[in-house]
Amino acid sequence: MMIKADKILENRMRRALARQGYRLVKSRVRDPRAIDFGRYYIVDPDTNGIVAGGGHIRMTLPDVERWATAAQ
pTM for the full predicted model: 0.80
Spatial distance between the Cα atoms of 60 and 58, rounded to a whole number of angstroms: 7
Q: How far is CA 56 from CA 9, 15, 35, 52, in A?
A: 24, 26, 10, 10
Give the helix ranges, DSSP H, for the chain.
4-19, 61-70
Q: Which segments in the chain show pLDDT lower than 70? A: 1-2, 71-72
Helix (H) and strand (E) counts in the chain: 2, 3
pLDDT at 20: 92
